[in-house]
Amino acid sequence: MARGQIHALEGILAAVLLVLSLVFALQVSAVTPMTESTSSQHIENQQRAVGQGLLEAAAEDGSLKTALLYWDNDAETYHGSNEDHRYTSGLPDDLRLGSELRRTITERGIAFNLHVNYVDDGEISSRTLVTQGEPSDHAVTVTETVTLFEDDTLFDSSGDPTDVTLQDAEEFYVPNEADGALYNVVEIELRLWRM
C-alpha cells in the first residue's frame, strides 16, 4: 500500500511540475518585433519616411511650389477643384506632385490630406488643398516649408507658367505678408494614414 501511495504522489508532483513549467514558459515569452503595437509603429515610421522624402524631393525639384501656384486667379480657386475649392482624389496628374503622390502614396493604399499653412495678418491660417477623409488614429504628419516670392508666377490648368505673378494676383489665397521680394512663407502639411 505504501508503494502505491508513493507512485500516486510521484504522479501528482510530476503533473504539478509540468503545469508550473507551462505557466512559467508562458509568462516569460518574449514580445516579438512584429506584435500588433510594434507593427503599427513600424508602418507609421515607414509612412512618415515616405511622406517626408516625397515632400523634400518635391520642394527641391520645384513641383511643391508649382502645386501651390496652380491657381486660377479669375475663378479664385485651384484649377479643376470642387465647389469647396479643394481636391478629393488627389492633385491632378498635370502636376508632377500629383502624379508622384498617386504613384508613391495612393497606389500603396495610403490616404492623405494636404494642407497649406500660411501667415495672414500675423496669424496662422490654413487652407486644404487635398482631402481624402478623416485621418485614422494612426495617421502621421510631415511638413515642408516653401518660400514664395513676389515674382513667382501662377500656373495654368495645363501646369504651364502664366504671366501673372504673385505681386499681381490679387485673388491669391495666401496674402503678401512681407516687404520687398519676399511674399510669404508657407508650410505644407501632409497627413498620411492606411485606408
pLDDT at 32: 57
Q: What residues make up the domain containing 82?
A: 41-194
31 found inside a domain:
no
Mean pLDDT of 189-195: 94
pLDDT at 173 over 80: yes
Mean pLDDT of 143-152: 97
Domain count, the chain: 1
pLDDT at 27: 77
157 found inside a domain:
yes
**Positive or negative torsion for Cα 89, 133, 171, 95:** negative
Question: What Å distances lie between residue 28 and 22, 23, 31, CA to CA?
Answer: 10, 9, 9
Phi, psi of 23 (to 5 degrees): -60, -45
Record the pTM.
0.77
